[in-house]
Amino acid sequence: MFVLKSVRVAVLAALSAQALAQEPTPPVPHAPEVPVVATTPLQPAATPTPAIVLPTAAPRPFVEVVRGAQHVAGFLGLYQKEEKVWIELRPDQFDQPLFMSVNMPNGIGERGIYGSQMGMSQVVVFHRIGNLVQMIAKNTDFGAKGGTPQALAVQQAFSDSLLAIAPVASGPNPQSKSILIEANALLFGDIPSMTTKLETAFRMPYVMDARNSSFLTVRSDESMTGLQVNAHFFVPRIAARPAVAPPVPLALATPPTTLPDPRSMFLGFYYSFMPLPAQAMHGRRADDRIGHFVSTSQDYSDDVTPTTAVHLVDRWRLEKQDPAAELSEPKQPIVYWIDANVPEKYRESVKQGVLAWNEAFERIGFKNAIVVKQQAATDKFDTMDARHASIRWFVGSDVGFAIGPSQVDPRSGEILDADIGMSDVFARGARRMVGEDSFDLSPPATGEDRCDYMAESAQEMGFAMDVLEARGELEMGSPEADAVAQAYVKSVIMHEVGHTLGLRHNFRSSTIYTLKQLQDPEFTKKNGMAGSVMDYTPFNLSLKGEKQGEYVTSALGPYDFWAIEYAYKPIEPAQEKEALAKIAARSSEPLLAFGTDQDANGFNMDPDVNVFDLGSDPLAYFQRRLTISRELWDRIQRRTLKPGESYEVLRRSFDYGFQQFARTLPVVVKYVGGVTYLRDHAGTGRATFTPVPLPRQREALQMLTASLFKADSFQFSPATISRLGSDHFNTRGRPDVSVNSRVLSLQSAALDQLMSDAVAVRLLDSQEKVDNRKQALGLPELYSTVQDSVWSELKTGKDINGMRRNLQREHLKRLVASLLRVSATTPADVRSLQRENALKLERDLRGAMGRPMSREAKAHLSESYETLGQALKAPMLRAGA
């Protein structure tokens, strides 16, 4: 009775879910017509009838169902006849955990929906309830020792998840007792939750259309079963644009631009099913002093440990053939396949980028730990399956990144698969000298959930190439230029392979060498350009006339060897805890400096942990970078183009200079109230949190005011600005250039940081971390320095041009806001100090208003004086009042 009731409840629930979510057949005339197939209950079907029906009779005999079907033997047996595919499940395969991954070989080439991308993975079981088979994702995040009361409590506390269901399609095989389920019913639903991703990207309610989905390939052997689904998604109609634009532009639906018809798209999903390793690999505990990706679970086996969290290093299973040998080949090497879609001219650079890591493994006793193979036309496997770690190329209308994800066995942290995606823009951008390819000039962004160099790297590369072209140091299309392109591809692959070996970003590593050392190519070929290739390193550009080193990194750094040693060094289990502690204890060595994403972007914002910096003195590096930007601008103003040459060349160089300012100055602000954060454990003698020394903070503040807030910070000749033409085939926004708006954008961003509550809190907190509070930068000095610089004309008596008036209005806006509205996070000292500064500014404005100046400047000072006076008299508004 219980089983029958469960079957009825499950099936009725499935029918109800699908009936509520019915969609009309998609009105896409060119969509292929195939017979209706079943869909998972978790995704609305595009058919007029429910996909799963309550069986009214026993399933047909096994032999009758498979008659005329092609049999594919393997881990999960498959039968295929025309558009139908059946999965064969033996009795011993039910309720047995297995590994399932869903990768994405095909996309649409925009807004995150790209091909050649690794997707989700789960530990799943097939569970039978009567004539219904469920595919259930097991909850591996919580556990306890088997057979204990704690294990029962965990099972009762945390749920598994239903991914898909399918009815039993056949009676048992007379010999093996196996049964069939229809793969179309199981896999033609939205298991990867792509509808949510599509709605996020386009703000349109796409649904999966099972009727027009199909299997492209099915493969199976004893090690794995793979099925590639060509999944159709659609929307019935594209909403008309509103007659009046809404107040929030992001609320508008923005259909895809790469499709012949934006109502319809086909996406590829490659489903892999394979057994989990029979014996789980021995898990290695992670240490927070070294940056590894980890598999984290909560272990409730006892209540005497301070935390239930268990962090295991993500790593490949690597065992010596001869454990006694000092140097031995592994039983099974880590094999990377270069996909057939990688352009032939870059394959050698890709290969060298992968094999560069073998040096780190040799130091811990492994010879040829990593092997690279090239997929040939005769190879029938797909590198998107779970058995082939790969490097693949992908293209799109808006791509600019590389990515190195992996999938692991959650029981042990063993990496089972990895697929590196290399965007075409890297190679194309690196070889921009050969042509005039456009670049994405959007603001920089980082994030380790999708490890990439993003637009930042393309911008960095473009900036470097423009500088070298302007200097005449690289001839476009020359062998030297091609060598730079190949070296760049290799360095990106080294970075992404590091991720697939289990290593996180290390953004502090760029500080271990001096700029003078980086100008010596022999030094960097031996020691690397930074402590780790897991940093984001910029093109290594020297100032004009200085010795030039390698442009991009070509070798691993000392941190890389250390991180590989911790994760992969063979250690007997009995000695592992002590041996790992000894390795990790080296964290205080200068060459092993480590800081990752949260150290670069968190509340502390350690100023030594940055993307795209180089050298032991980041402030000196940033100052050099600004100098090179101004050099590029100067060359623009002096450059004479050849007859017929496009002015877009000048526009691009102009943009790259501003992008360098936009990337550099926010990092300089981190020094103001900055705190160095170290991951040391007890015994090193170093403090965990150390405020940036006062002279360094003042140096950073002086750099900001001199670069951004001085009256002559940005000066361009009218002849130059009037020639900055755009690419007329790819114009976005206004075609001409507004220098004022670009400068104001930089200045506003800097003011937002300098006058933020977060910086104020850090400055006040820093006083608690030093013995002498006079050695910490105070809020009065910060606010006065900024105000005096922004309003310098009030003392010099000079006229105030439009660019300066814009800056002063932005400062006044923030000053007034600090007087009128105080949030719960605003320190009390902020308002009292800013009120004092406001009174001083009011006096200075009154004194300056009688001096001779332009009519615009007089009106500006009068308005500012009136605004400030009203703010000082107005009552304060508290947040929430």
Angle between helix axes 618-638 and 648-669 (nearest 10 degrees) is: 160
Least confident of 90-104, 490-504, 756-770: 756-770
Q: How far apart are CA 132 and CA 573, in angstroms?
A: 44
Q: What are phi and psi of 577, to 5 degrees?
A: -60, -45
Say if 142 falls within a structural domain: yes
Least confident of 611-615, 661-665, 752-756, 788-792: 661-665
Tens of pLDDT along 180-231? 999 999 999 999 999 999 999 999 999 999 999 999 999 999 999 999 999 9
286 pLDDT more than 90: yes
The pLDDT value given to residue 15: 34
Say if 777 falls within a structural domain: no
9 pLDDT more than 70: no
Q: How far apart are CA 259 and CA 108, in angstroms?
A: 7
- Cα dihedral 586→589→592→593 (10° resolution): 120
- 316 within 8 A of 503, measured Cβ to Cβ: no
- 615 to 507, 542, 645, 659, 816: CA distances (angstroms): 12, 12, 38, 20, 40
Helices (H), 193-332: 194-202
DSSP 313-339: E-B----BSSTTSSSB-BSS-EEEEE-
CA atoms within 13 A on the CB side of 152: 3
Which residue has 């993500």 as its token pair?
A: 314
Confidence of residue 363 (pLDDT cuts 50, 70, 90): very high
39 pLDDT more than 50: no
Question: Which letter does DSSP use for residue 136 in this model?
Answer: E
Per-residue tokens: 80: 């295929």
Angle between helix axes 828-848 and 757-766 (nearest 10 degrees) is: 110
- What is the chain's mean pLDDT, rounded? 87
Which residue has 């004092």 as its token pair?
A: 836
Average pLDDT (321-339) is: 97
Confidence of residue 246 (pLDDT cuts 50, 70, 90): low
Q: How far apart are CA 418 and CA 472, in angstroms?
A: 41
* Residue percentage of the chain with pLDDT more than 90: 68
Say if 61 falls within a structural domain: yes
Say if 634 falls within a structural domain: no
Least confident of 129-143, 243-257, 471-485: 243-257
Residue from 546, 679, 541 nearest 604 by CA: 679
Tens of pLDDT along 845-877? 999 998 999 999 999 999 999 999 999 998 866
Confidence of residue 648 (pLDDT cuts 50, 70, 90): confident
CA atoms within 13 A on the CB side of 217: 16
2 pLDDT more than 50: no
Which residue did the predictor score with more confidence, 16 or 564?
564
Residue from 699, 669, 525, 553 nearest 605 by CA: 669
CA atoms within 13 A on the CB side of 189: 24
Which residue did the predictor score with more confidence, 442 or 235?
235
Which residue has 């080439």 as its token pair?
A: 109
DSSP 39-66: --TTS--SSSS-S----SSPPPPHHHHH
pTM of the model: 0.88
Question: Which letter does DSSP use for residue 740 in this model?
Answer: H
Tens of pLDDT along 799-849? 999 999 999 999 999 999 999 987 888 899 999 999 999 999 999 999 999
Give the residue numbers spanning the domain of 132: 2-240
- 535 within 8 A of 506, measured Cβ to Cβ: yes
Percentage helix, strand, coil, to 5, in the chain? 40, 15, 45
Q: How far apart are CA 728 and CA 748, in angstroms?
A: 30
The pLDDT value given to residue 794: 95
| Three-state helix/strand/coil letters over 775-824 | HCCCHHHHHHHHHHHHCCHHHHCCCCCHHHHHHHHHHHHHHHHHHHEECC
- 219 to 80, 89, 172, 293, 483: CA distances (angstroms): 11, 16, 23, 31, 41
Report angle CA 497, 499, 504 to the nearest 5 degrees. Answer: 145
Average pLDDT (712-733) is: 80
The pLDDT value given to residue 725: 84
The pLDDT value given to residue 807: 96
Say if 361 falls within a structural domain: no
- The set of residues, in sequence order, having a beta carbon less than 8 Å from that of 623 and lying 6+ positions away, is 703
Number of domains making up the chain: 1
* φ/ψ bin of 731: left (φ > 0), alpha (ψ from -120 to 50), beta (otherwise): beta
Q: How far apart are CA 858 and CA 843, in angstroms?
A: 15
Q: Determine whether 831 is exposed, middle or buried from the number of CB atoms within 10 Å of its CB (0-12, 13-18, 19+).
A: middle
444 pLDDT more than 70: no
Q: How far apart are CA 717 and CA 707, in angstroms?
A: 18
Least confident of 27-31, 358-362, 449-453, 705-709: 27-31
The pLDDT value given to residue 24: 40
Say if 575 falls within a structural domain: no
The pairs formed by 838-847 with CB atoms below 8 angstroms and a separation of 24 or more are 838/868, 838/871, 838/872, 839/872, 840/787, 841/787, 841/791, 841/815, 841/868, 842/868, 842/869, 842/872, 844/791, 844/794, 844/795, 845/794, 847/794
Confidence of residue 242 (pLDDT cuts 50, 70, 90): confident
Per-residue tokens: 26: 């998609």
- 5 to 129, 161, 176, 293: CA distances (angstroms): 10, 20, 28, 44
The pLDDT value given to residue 32: 34
Residue from 180, 233, 216 nearest 69 by CA: 180
Question: Which letter does DSSP use for residue 168 in this model?
Answer: B
Confidence of residue 403 (pLDDT cuts 50, 70, 90): confident
- 47 within 8 A of 189, measured Cβ to Cβ: no
Say if 306 falls within a structural domain: no
Tens of pLDDT along 96-134? 999 999 999 999 999 999 999 999 999 999 999 999 999
Q: How many CB atoms lie within 10 A of CB 849?
A: 15
DSSP SS3 for 410: coil
DSSP 582-632: HHHGGGGSGGG----HHHHHSSS--TT--SS--SS-HHHHHHHHHHHHHHH
Least confident of 1-10, 70-79, 387-396, 443-452: 1-10
Confidence of residue 495 (pLDDT cuts 50, 70, 90): very high
| Sequence letter at residue 31 | A
The pLDDT value given to residue 697: 94
Q: How far apart are CA 235 and CA 28, in angstroms?
A: 10
Helices (H), 417-504: 424-430, 454-471, 479-500
Confidence of residue 425 (pLDDT cuts 50, 70, 90): low
| Sequence letter at residue 375 | Q
Which residue did the predictor score with more confidence, 714 or 316?
316
Q: How far apart are CA 771 and CA 809, in angstroms?
A: 39
List the beta bridge partners of residue 268.
230
Which residue has 């591809």 as its token pair?
A: 489
Say if 227 falls within a structural domain: yes
Q: What are phi and psi of 227, to 5 degrees?
A: -135, 125
Per-residue tokens: 163: 């991914």
* Residue percentage of the chain with pLDDT more than 70: 87
Least confident of 27-41, 487-501, 620-634, 806-820: 27-41
265 pLDDT more than 50: yes
Residue from 691, 513, 530 nearest 606 by CA: 691
List the beta bridge partners of residue 137.
124, 161
List the beta bridge partners of residue 444.
none
Residue from 573, 579, 527, 583 nearest 550 by CA: 527
573 pLDDT more than 50: yes
Q: How far apart are CA 750 and CA 89, in angstroms?
A: 62
